Structure 1
């Protein structure tokens, strides 16, 4: 560990952090361009073969950027995409971005530092940064926007140059240091540990935009919300947001053990996929889709007497046709991803004749991320961290997400030497209640 990192871990003052020299290299989880064709035609693209942890050069800062010493990060599915080089190699994103020239050219490198979540301490600020200072404890939103693009000022997610940091940009958060734009930063919730705080921005913000944001489904009190993959990172935050907003969450899971976790999270109705004859990740045929929709609809009506107002679907190919069928007349299907495949098939009669809507949603703009972070800081939205790995074990952590063997979020300690550090408001944590924080945590704190 370099002297600046040691000072951060020791809790040094901002003045001391400014005096410490920047390292020339830092430790980071990354992919390498030479591995792009590593998997060939193999069916199992095991990310443990393509993810590397080692030293890379420290980049310079643009005027609107900050350098953050990363205490903790977390695994998102986009790290799986990067490490499998599918659906496209992320090195293509970096080359395209670099064509802008200037500071963007730094991103086109033979390695790609991954990670779209981070919690840490600012150690340097660019000369154009106004609202942040060395020593601030922050979390990073993954939304990387161009503030000189007109559409950005309507909605950060609408700008053509909007990117996901650590996936479509280099220098991500699964590292000892990360480079982010100042417009990505939010204050870290002081009652949370580093790893708890790092587990929230991407998934919680994405769920917030889908359900609560002005451009999402606009859930209201009493709405029944069907949530696929309800014990995953997105789903577990969705359950909480629905409950907070006076809605009724209906969670769909793939096992009884996950069903028990979901009940612990407070989900009103829990449905095991096996109970409606839905197994595997393949796309069902048209007749099977309708039959599954009927079974699922009956199960929901048996518990609540009504069809869902909203379906929260990031699963994609395996569920989308059922989602369109089962949502009520005039209802909304909101989607942000397709972990089982991008080609969605559904019977359009059930969409147009029943006046249903499909809304595409992606990440969150800074205002939405800020509102979501406020809920976390108030203790009204809890982290859903279930396991924590050291940075050296990032490949195995990502493999667990790749195989869907995880629940909630999988955290990664970067500079933090152990879990449980970073709490600066223990009194607020005590008021919330230790038993309420991290309702999906497992007994073992760190997975070696």
Structure 2
């Protein structure tokens, strides 16, 4: 353990942290460009083979960037995409980014530090950074934007230069240190531990934009919302957001174990897809038949068809989503864990004036609004398991095989669970069980 790490773990002041020398290298989960073709012709693209944990050089800091000591991070599905080199190797993103010149050139390397979530402590701030100082406890947004691009100031997700940190950039969060732009930081909720807070921002803010924002479905009081994969990271936060907005969440899961977890989240209607024969339809007729079956169950439970379908599953569910939402309803989609080519019967869309809304991550204002809800205890983490950085391959494999609930956290510099709480009063008021509804299931 170097002296900077000792200072971090002892709660040293910002002044002390600034005096400590930065290490020349640090531990990080990374991919190698030389491995890009390792899964060619392989059916099981096991991410434990491609993700490596080892020493990497400390990158330089641009004037508008911040160096964060990562206490904890989390696994997102984009880590699986990166580690399987699909749908395209992320090294292509790094090469394109590097061609911009300047500080971007250092992202184009023969290795990529991965990970798009993180909580930690600021240890250095660039000369152009006025908002953040060494010693600040922060959570990291996955969205890196070009502050000089006009579209960024209207909605960062419309900027052509927005990139997902640790996926389309280098120096991600599954490491002891990360370099991020100052505009990627928000204050860490004080009542949460490092590992709890590390698994919130990417998925919760994505769900917020999809459901609450004026850029998404714009749900309102009383809306019935169908949530596919309701115990995944996105889905578990979606359930909470719908409840907070006064809506009625209808969650779909694939097993009784996940159904139990969904009830622990307080979901109004829980549907085990295995019990009613919902699978991946292989024909238009089967899609409609499964949609009718699902619709009957929802109407029996709540008396009407859903206003909104929250769908990040993709090919296996999208046609059913379009069919099952009510006249004038909305299907809001991000990602596609079962495939990107979606098929649906357009008659049910156009003749019933339904909408499809594509959504990607969230802008900083949306993330701040979500982070405020978390900081006030209105939205709880959905942490289910915690791994060490040396076990990151196993953690990613769990997500790759959909064997997890909620979020899977990874301890980076934090030596154990339970650290990082600066507001114990709020934590006690909310209660540990309420903060961790999926840990006991």
Q: TM-score, normalised by structure 2?
A: 0.99
| Aligned-partner Cα distance in 1 for 2:178–2:9 | 16
5+ long unaligned stretches in structure 2: none
Q: Write out aligned runs for 1:207-226 (5 A).
A: 207-226=207-226
Aligned with residue 419 of structure 1, among 417, 420, 427: 417
| Aligned-partner Cα distance in 1 for 2:35–2:3 | 33
DSSP-derived class of the 2:104 partner: helix
Deviation at 1:65, TM superposition (A): 0.4
Q: Which residue in 2 is equivalent to 1:147?
A: 147
- Cα pair 1:193 1:423 within 8 Å, conserved: yes
Q: What do you get for the CA RMSD once the two structures are aligned? A: 0.8
- Cα pair 1:283 1:317 within 8 Å, conserved: no
Instruction: Please list the CA deviations of residues 295-336 of structure 1 after superposition, one character each: whole Å capped at 9, or x if unmatched.
Output: 000000010110000000000000000000000000000001
Q: Which residue in 2 is equivalent to 1:15?
A: 15
Q: Which residue in 1 is equivalent to 2:99?
A: 99
- Cα pair 1:98 1:108 within 8 Å, conserved: yes
Aligned with residue 410 of structure 1, among 405, 408, 411: 408
Q: Write out aligned runs for 1:24-103 (5 A).
A: 24-103=24-103
| Aligned-partner Cα distance in 2 for 1:405–1:275 | 19
| Aligned-partner Cα distance in 1 for 2:357–2:63 | 36
| Aligned-partner Cα distance in 2 for 1:86–1:176 | 26
Q: Which residue in 2 is equivalent to 1:113?
A: 113
| Matching of residue 435 in structure 1 with residue 441 in structure 2 | no
| Matching of residue 172 in structure 1 with residue 168 in structure 2 | no
Deviation at 1:418, TM superposition (A): 0.3
DSSP-derived class of the 1:250 partner: strand
| Aligned-partner Cα distance in 2 for 1:230–1:314 | 10
Instruction: Please list the CA deviations of residues 93-149 of structure 1 after superposition, one character each: whole Å capped at 9, or x if unmatched.
Output: 000000100000000000000000010000000000011101000000101000100
5+ long unaligned stretches in structure 1: 444-448
Aligned with residue 319 of structure 2, among 318, 321, 326: 321
Query: How many residues end up aligned between the 2 structures?
Result: 441
DSSP-derived class of the 1:242 partner: helix
DSSP-derived class of the 2:327 partner: coil
- Cα pair 1:59 1:106 within 8 Å, conserved: yes
| Aligned-partner Cα distance in 1 for 2:438–2:358 | 28
Q: Which residue in 1 is equivalent to 2:393?
A: 395
| Aligned-partner Cα distance in 2 for 1:299–1:74 | 35
Q: Which residue in 1 is equivalent to 2:133?
A: 133
Deviation at 1:442, TM superposition (A): 4.1
Deviation at 1:2, TM superposition (A): 2.3
Deviation at 1:179, TM superposition (A): 0.5
Q: TM-score, normalised by structure 1?
A: 0.98
Deviation at 1:27, TM superposition (A): 0.4
Deviation at 1:434, TM superposition (A): 1.8
Deviation at 1:276, TM superposition (A): 2.1
| Aligned-partner Cα distance in 1 for 2:39–2:430 | 47
Q: Which runs of 4+ in 1 moved over 2 A?
A: none
- Cα pair 1:138 1:188 within 8 Å, conserved: yes
Deviation at 1:275, TM superposition (A): 2.0
